[in-house]
Every structure is written in structure tokens, then in C-alpha cells.
Structure 1
Amino acid sequence: MGCDRNCGLIAGAVIGAVLALLGGILMPVGDMLIEKTIKKEVVLEEGTIAFKNWVKTGTEVYRQFWIFDVQNAQEVVANSSKIKVKQRGPYTYRVRYLAKENITHDTENHLVSFVQPNGAIFEPSLSVGTEDDTMTVLNLAVAAAPHLYPNAFVQVVLNSLIKKSKSSMFQNRTVKELLWGYTDPFLSLVPYPVNTKVGVFYPYNNTVDGVYSVFSGKDNVSQVAIIDTYKGKKSIYAVFGAEINLKGIPVYRFVLPSMAFASPLQNPDNHCFCTEKVISNNCTSYGVLDIGKCKEGKPVYISLPHFLHASPDIGEPIEGLSPNEDEHTTYLDVEPITGFTLRFAKRLQINILVKPAKKIEALKNLKRNYIVPILWLNETGTIGDEKAAQFRKQVTGKINLLGLVEIILLTVGVVMFVAFMISYCACRSKGKR
């Protein structure tokens, strides 16, 4: 009788140990199997589910614009006053709805290259007004003239054309004109062939963006679709910010660090952006990057919205700005197992450098340099509810279920082993008395 009882207790302890061992083995083995299954479908290769969805995304991507409406244009022109601006927006467009083109695979380095055709569809229901809303903004052609033509004699000629066209430092333009292009009256009078169309994003429709080069995820699934280079140059990087929950899916948030817009003294990687000694104070100012080389020499600078993380001297000549982290930070929400970006917000501001020009009357009264904010944009996309539910079912749900099974087996096994061993020892001790 005692033997039967002791044998039963030992058997229970053995079963508990086996269950605990099975739970322990499932942790690495199960994770490996799931990762192998996921990896097969999430890498960017012909025939995978991820590749099909990546070529033409089903997620709706929107680009919102907030335009800085200048409130004291005449005062600035006459007295070189601070520029008072009022943010107006959002004006929203659907973008990135066209399939990627010229896709090539670099299997040796696990990279995929492509270009993204550009297209923009206005979304009235997501906008504060219409594309015909008019506001006072910097005159892009007049502001760029002294940068593109520094010769004094040429500036005298340009000044006569600016006056004849009744152009000034500022102008009234519709949202559609400012964004996508308009025929400039000053440039239309230039006697030699020039492009008379001007716009912050002109030309856009029927053009392509890229070349992009992204990781395929073949060697590291967590890097799938992460940009390696853009037009042959390393892209701005992001750093880990926090772990958050997105529609029931745990994701890692990566944010654009302030160092990405730091001065070359703080971040040597930005040395190539320090090209204008006056505006950069010998490369000590920070918060804006000169991209003029990419814009045919035009004085274009990019920054975070409202000059977030910029040195005080950058925003000092501008009134009406209120930078804050929540509204103006760029981020990516990445599901860590698949490496999929499930939500993102790309936020950038377009600015133009304006300098005094003695030979151009529209600019001759200026006593300082201005980096004038034109607009800022928020390009954003979020996984839809239907796709989020599908993702939870196919990925998160299976992982959670496996994790639950592992914990149950391990817990039950350990409890059984400990309980039966204690009972066995107690019975042995009692039997010896």
C-alpha cells in the first residue's frame, strides 16, 4: 500500500518535471518555429505576402500641410521687422497610392531598390478649407533671385523685371498654387529661356521619388523595409523611444533624434549641410539643414515643424511659432517580430533663406537674414482596423497563445513536481517513524 502511494507520488513528480521541461523547451523552439514561419512570408521577395502588400500598399497614406500665412508683409519689407505668421491647415492629400516601380533585388546585400511614383488627391473631408484658399506667403522666385544670380549687374536687370511684374518679397497665392505650381509673373518676363513655373513641390504629379534602397529582411527580419539609402545617400536615422500598444499589437516606437538636425560641431555627419557661413554662425547654429544642392542651388532649408530642436537664433526673427514634441516629432511604430512599420508620421518643415540684396528693391531694406518658414507637412499612415485584426490573428495571437501554453506548462509542471515531491518526502518521513 505504501509502495503504491509512493510510486504514485513519484510518477506525479516525474509528470510535473516533464511538463515543466516541455514548457521550457517550447520557449526557444516555439519562438524559433514561429520566427521561421513569419520570416518566410515577411521578407521582401517575389511571392511572399509581404512583397505583394509592399509593392502597392493597402494602407491609406495622407500628407497634411499647414501653411504659414504672413500677417505683416508690408512692415517686414519696409522695416525688416520680425515676420509674424499664423499657421493654417491642415490641407490634406492622399499620397503613395501608386505601385512602386523599377524594383530590383540585390540578393548579396539583402537590399531592394525602387522608385515611388508621385500622385496627390485632395481630401476635402480631412481639410479645413479648399485648395482655392488664399494666403500671404514668401515670393519664392524673388527670394531665390539673389542666390541664383549673385552678379550685381544681373541683379539690376532682374530688379527691373521684378518691378515691371509688380512682384514683391511676399505674394498672395492659393494652396494649390503654392504646393503644386503656378506661372510666376516675374520669371515670365525674363528674356532668356527659364522655367516660369514655381511651387514648393513642383513638379510632382507624373514624377517619381527615389531611388530608395531598403532592407529585404532576408538576413534580419527586424530590418524589413527599413530604408538604407535615398538617392544613394544614407538616410536620417531613428532611435528607440518607447514600447506602446497599437490596436492591440505591441510595437516599438522609434523617433527622429534631435542630433539628426544638430550642428556639425555636435554631429560631424552633418558637415556637408553647413554651406552658408552667415546663417550657420560658422556651423554653430542647429536645427535646419541646407538642401540647396538638391534644389538646383535654391536657398531651401528643412527643419522639424516650428523649428523644434533648433537653436534660438534660427526662430528669433519669426513670431507665431510654438514647437512641441507631440505634434512635431517624426516617428515609426514597428512591430518587433516581423519588423513591419504599422504606423508612422513624417513631419518636416520647408523654409527659404532670404538675404538682403542692395540691387533688388523688394529686398534692399532688409537688415538681417531670415529663414522663412513656408509650410510644414505631416505624412502619416496607420494600419487599418481590418488589417490590424488580421495581424493579431495571424501573428500576435499565435505568439500570445504559444506564450500562454508555455507559461501554463511550466507553471503546472513546477507546481506538480514540487507538490508531489513534498508529499513523497512527507510520506517517507512518516513511514520511518
Structure 2
Amino acid sequence: MGCDRNCGLIAGAVIGAVLAVFGGILMPVGDLLIQKTIKKQVVLEEGTIAFKNWVKTGTEVYRQFWIFDVQNPQEVMMNSSNIQVKQRGPYTYSPMVPSSNLHYQLEQRLTTSQFSIWLWQTLRELLWGYRDPFLSLVPYPVTTTVGLFYPYNNTADGVYKVFNGKDNISKVAIIDTYKGKRNLSYWESHCDMINGTDAASFPPFVEKSQVLQFFSSDICRSIYAVFESDVNLKGIPVYRFVLPSKAFASPVENPDNYCFCTEKIISKNCTSYGVLDISKCKEGRPVYISLPHFLYASPDVSEPIDGLNPNEEEHRTYLDIEPITGFTLQFAKRLQVNLLVKPSEKIQVLKNLKRNYIVPILWLNETGTIGDEKANMFRSQVTGKINLLGLIEMILLSVGVVMFVAFMISYCACRSKTIK
């Protein structure tokens, strides 16, 4: 009887040890299996999850446009006062920008036609284009239809050539060329490079310590995001990456930004920050891009503008990335479009201005979140299986250790009684 009991206890301990060892071995083996499966599924080729997501994201995208309604246009033009703005939405505004060699002829038409630099149009016209009556008077072959997003409604922003990751998974979705080029021809040095992906996805196995680079044609440059926090998105653990204030800093604080500094008068010898001059990218139009309400911009930029209220919660840009696959499952892109207005002795309506203004026109809030159907698929095919495997590993290891310890204690107790 004693032998049978002791043998049974030893057998239980052995079984526990085997379960614990199997659970321990399953951890690295399981990780290898996961990596192999993920690497196969994130390659951009027909039949993979990544390819399906690339062709049709399943992300619900919403766009909001907020305009800044100028409350005191006459005071600004006559006395060079601070511009008082009131945020309204969703509307937009788009100017007519004169060429310097037409100053005299444009001034004549401004005076005789009683035009102003301030315009009032419908939302549809201002966003997607309208025929400007003043431009029809310009003695120069110019496009008379203007609009902030004209002619980009329902059009692509250019042809992208990206790596499919089949030969090197660490390069999947990274842009090789944009419009047939590896550089933009807008900036000097490294600022002109096209880096990273288009932000819709990144190479798999994203780490919190990574700096994620991506290219945005909206701001005509490559930029980057850093980890901020863990987020639970519809039951899917994701990493929230945000655009840091350092990305918009002056070269004094961030030397890497020296090649984004353009006009020395406006940038105050590159000490001002938070506003990007993209005029070269926009056919010479004096367009400046910033975060909404000049978030992260230097005080001198917003000083001539009253009515702004920048805050990170509403005005920053972020990406919520599922770290195993590298897919962006939720995002918020916030951009503000600004125009440069300067004094001009040649144009009467600008003659009384005593300073330069970077005038906020509108800001765009574009958000996207993975749909419920896609989230269910993602949980079942990706995170669900990974969590199940992890649960099995922990159960085997825990049960095995408990069994081994319990049976060994019982065996030792029985042995001591037998010896007595």
C-alpha cells in the first residue's frame, strides 16, 4: 500500500513537471509560430490580411472642417489691429494670391471693382471650388476656379510605390517612391526625403521605444510619432503614438529641423516655430500649415490673433497602432491651413498693415476608427488566437508547477511518516 501510494505521488509530480516544462517550452515555440504567421499575413500580396486591409481598410473616416470667422476685418486693414477670430464649422475660405509682376494691374481692378481681401462664399464653393469673379478680370491666363481642396475632390494625391515585405518584412508598407521620386524637391538635405510608410500601417512587432516615421502629402514632408500610452480599442490592445512638439520645434531646440526653415523674415531667423511654409509644394501660394489653434507654435505666431484656444486633447494628431501587426486601427489627423498676409505699398488694401500676419483660415479634423465588423475579424483571427495561446501556456505552466509542488510535498510527508 505504501509503495502504491508513493508511486502515485511520484507519478503525479512527474506529470506536473512535464506539464510545466511543456508550458515553458510552448512559450518560445508559440512566439515563433505567432511571428511566422504574422510575417506571412502582413505581406502585401493577394490573400493576406494586410492586402485585404490595404485594398479596403474597413475604417470609418469622418472629416470636419472648422473655419475662423474674422470679426474685425476693417479694423485690421485700417489700423493693423489684432485679428479677432471666432471658430465656426464646418466652413472654409480660400483666397486669390496675386503674382508680384501683376501688382499694378491687380490694384487697379481691386480699386475699381471694390473687391476686398475678405470673401464670403458657401461651404461647398469654398471647399471644392467656385468661379472667382475677380480672377475673371485678371489680364493673365489663370484658373478662375478656386477652392481650398480644388481640384483634389475625389482625386488621388499621387502614385505610391511601396515595399510588399516579402523579401524583408521589416520594410513592408514603407514607401519606395512617391510620384516616381524618392525625394520631394521642396526642401534641402534630409528634410526632402520620403521616409517611412503612409501611416496606414507599419512593419509588424511595433515596440514602445520606436520612433514611427511616415510621409504625409498634406504637409509635404515626412514626420514622426512617438509612443504615449496603451489604449483598449474595441477589445483590441493598441499603442497610441502622437506627433511630439519637438517635431514642430525651431532649429534652436531641434537642430534636425533647420532645413524646414524658409523665409527668414517670417521665421525670425528660424527662432519661430510651429508653422510650416509649404508654398513650394503649393505652386508658390503662401500656404502655411500648423496644428489647429497654433498648438505647439511659438507665442509670436499667435500673438496677433485673438480667439484661439489650443489644447492637446482636441488639436493634436495621433495614431492607435496594433503592435503585433503594425496596422493603424484608429487615428486623428488635425491640420490647420494658414495664409501669410504682409504689408504692400503696391496694393491699397494692404498698405495700412504694419506687420505680418499668419492668418488661420480653417482646420481639418479627420478621424478614423476600425469598424465593428473588422474589429470582430481582427479579434478572432489575430488577438483572440494570440490570447488563447498565451492562456494555454499559462494554464499548463501554472497547473504543472502546482501539481509538481503539491505531489512532492505529499510524497515527502509520506516518506517521513514511513521512516518513523
TM-score (norm 1): 0.83
* Offset of residue 214 of structure 1: 4.5
Could you say what secondary structure the match of 1:387 adopts?
helix
Is 2:125 the counterpart of 1:177? yes
Could you say what secondary structure the match of 1:402 adopts?
helix
* Offset of residue 273 of structure 1: 2.4
Could you say what secondary structure the match of 2:157 adopts?
strand
Change (3 A) 1:76 1:47: same
Match of 1:393 in 2: 380
Query: Could you tell me whether the CA contact under 8 Å between 1:24 and 1:406 is conserved in 2?
Result: yes
Match of 2:350 in 1: 363
Could you say what secondary structure the match of 2:224 adopts?
coil
CA deviation profile, 1:139-164 (whole Å, cap 9, x unmatched): 611xx32xx31x5xx42222112223
Instruction: Tell me the amino acid that sits aligned with residue 432 of structure 1.
Output: I
Match of 1:66 in 2: 66
- Name whichever of 58-67 and 289-298 sits farther off: 58-67
Match of 1:140 in 2: 95
- Name whichever of 283-292 and 264-273 sits farther off: 264-273
Residue 151 of structure 2: which of 199, 203, 210 is its match? 203
* Offset of residue 390 of structure 1: 1.7
* Offset of residue 209 of structure 1: 0.7
Match of 1:236 in 2: 223
Instruction: Tell me the amino acid that sits aligned with residue 150 of structure 2.
Output: Y
- Name whichever of 288-297 and 418-427 sits farther off: 418-427
Instruction: Tell me the amino acid that sits aligned with residue 331 of structure 1.
Output: Y
- Identity between Structure 1 and Structure 2 (%): 77
Query: Could you tell me whether the CA contact under 8 Å between 2:58 and 2:374 is conserved in 1?
Result: no
Residue 247 of structure 1: which of 208, 221, 234 is its match? 234
* Offset of residue 429 of structure 1: 2.2
Match of 1:289 in 2: 276
Could you say what secondary structure the match of 2:121 adopts?
strand
**Pairs within 5 Å for 1:218-367:** 218=166, 224-225=172-173, 232=182, 233-234=194-195, 235-367=222-354
Match of 2:362 in 1: 375
Greater strand share, 1 or 2? 1
Could you say what secondary structure the match of 1:60 adopts?
strand
CA distance in 1, matches of 2:245, 2:177: 20
Instruction: Please list every run of 5 or more consecutive structure 1 residues that lacks an aligned counterpart in the other structure.
Output: 92-134
Instruction: Please list every run of 5 or more consecutive structure 2 residues that lacks an aligned counterpart in the other structure.
Output: 183-193, 196-221
* Offset of residue 37 of structure 1: 2.2
Query: Could you tell me whether the CA contact under 8 Å between 2:90 and 2:123 is conserved in 1?
Result: no
Instruction: Tell me the amino acid that sits aligned with residue 261 of structure 1.
Output: F
- Name whichever of 341-350 and 35-44 sits farther off: 35-44
CA distance in 2, matches of 1:172, 1:286: 31
**Pairs within 5 Å for 1:121-200:** 140-141=95-96, 144-145=97-98, 148-149=99-100, 154-200=102-148
Match of 1:102 in 2: none
Match of 2:23 in 1: 23
> Alignment length, in residue pairs?
381
CA distance in 2, matches of 1:259, 1:228: 26
Match of 1:40 in 2: 40
Match of 1:428 in 2: 415
Change (3 A) 1:349 1:227: farther
Change (3 A) 1:258 1:251: same
Change (3 A) 1:276 1:168: same
CA distance in 1, matches of 2:3, 2:418: 11
CA distance in 2, matches of 1:377, 1:343: 17
CA distance in 1, matches of 2:291, 2:162: 24
Is 2:7 the counterpart of 1:7? yes
CA distance in 2, matches of 1:61, 1:279: 35
C-alpha RMSD over aligned residues: 2.1
CA distance in 2, matches of 1:330, 1:222: 25
**Pairs within 5 Å for 1:33-112:** 33-90=33-90
* Offset of residue 226 of structure 1: 5.8
Could you say what secondary structure the match of 1:430 adopts?
helix
CA distance in 2, matches of 1:307, 1:243: 27
* Offset of residue 318 of structure 1: 0.6
* Offset of residue 228 of structure 1: 7.1
CA distance in 1, matches of 2:164, 2:77: 52
Instruction: Tell me the amino acid that sits aligned with residue 60 of structure 1.
Output: E
- Name whichever of 278-287 and 381-390 sits farther off: 381-390
Instruction: Tell me the amino acid that sits aligned with residue 129 of structure 2.
Output: G
CA distance in 1, matches of 2:319, 2:117: 38
4+ residue segments displaced more than 3 Å: 211-232
Change (3 A) 1:206 1:213: same
TM-score (norm 2): 0.85
CA deviation profile, 1:77-136 (whole Å, cap 9, x unmatched): 111111111111246xxxxxxxxxxxxxxxxxxxxxxxxxxxxxxxxxxxxxxxxxxx8x
CA distance in 2, matches of 1:267, 1:213: 30
Query: Could you tell me whether the CA contact under 8 Å between 2:44 and 2:50 is conserved in 1?
Result: yes
Could you say what secondary structure the match of 1:210 adopts?
coil
Could you say what secondary structure the match of 1:362 adopts?
helix
- Name whichever of 421-430 and 338-347 sits farther off: 421-430
Instruction: Tell me the amino acid that sits aligned with residue 72 of structure 1.
Output: N
